A and B are shown apart, each in its own frame.
Chain A
Amino acid sequence: DTEVTQTPKHLVMGMTNKKSLKCEQHMGHRAMYWYKQKAKKPPELMFVYSYEKLSINESVPSRFSPECPNSSLLNLHLHALQPEDSALYLCASSQEGQVKGVQETQYFGPGTRLLVL
């Protein structure tokens, strides 16, 4: 099973709202990722967690706050977003996320389509 699930599928929020995106995988993977994908563009990496530790933050604004409660779950907390943050937010997972000797494949969830008004 290579399934990564994400909730909600769609989210509409105002600029003063606080909301959270959730991602879950049960493949025993120890690395999880958040990507942002604008229309007709490739996914752009936001954050990487490896063994529940934040390993990469691609200079993402603080209005996006990731959280990894355990190895199966990844959240993205949203606060005071801007309309330009409207996008498809993708979660992915892989075995470990670390460079050392592991040939890894990232598996993606269906995404949460976010609209900020």
Chain B
Amino acid sequence: AQSVSQHNHHVILSEAASLELGCNYSYGGTVNLFWYVQYPGQHLQLLLKYFSGDPLVKGIKGFEAEFIKSKFSFNLRKPSVQWSDTAEYFCAIKGRSGGYNKLIFGAGTRLAVHP
């Protein structure tokens, strides 16, 4: 079965703190992994993605994620968060249904950054 698990449902940080959001997946095929962000009242935006190659992926707004195949993980990191990073973060895996692609999302992590 294809699934994504995000361990932290709510995270509260102060500005300048470091961030790491956990994501684990279960999938037997070729892995494509994504992190999306949804700012309050806004639509889903792609933060970064991993298809192949360098397991350390850099995305927009200073975010990065590391694909660790042996741990089935794709954790999101940022060295120093800002108030504007307050948002919901979704990890997703590209699964399949028949011969077609589908995105399977984790439950999401709600991040609140206090000034």
Contact = CB atoms under 8 A, between A and B. Distances in A.
B100 A55 contact: yes
How extensive is the interface on chain B, given as a class?
A: 20 to 34
B108 A90 contact: no
A100 B32 CA distance: 13
A46 B73 CA distance: 26
Contact of A99 (B42, B90, B96, B108): B96
A90 B45 CA distance: 12
Contact of B44 (A43, A45, A99): A43
Interface stretch (A14-22, A66-74, A77-85, A103-111): A103-111
A76 interface: no
A41 B38 CA distance: 11
A50 B44 contact: no
Contacts, number: 64
Q: Which has the most chain A C-beta neighbours within 10 Å: B46, B98, B103, B107? A: B103
B100 A99 contact: yes
The 8 closest A-B pairs by CB, nearest first: A42-B105, A110-B43, A108-B44, A103-B51, A55-B100, A56-B97, A99-B96, A99-B99
Interface of A: 31, 33, 40-45, 48, 50, 55-56, 90, 92, 94, 97-100, 103-111
Interface of B: 32, 34, 36, 42-46, 49, 51-52, 90, 94, 96-103, 105-108, 110
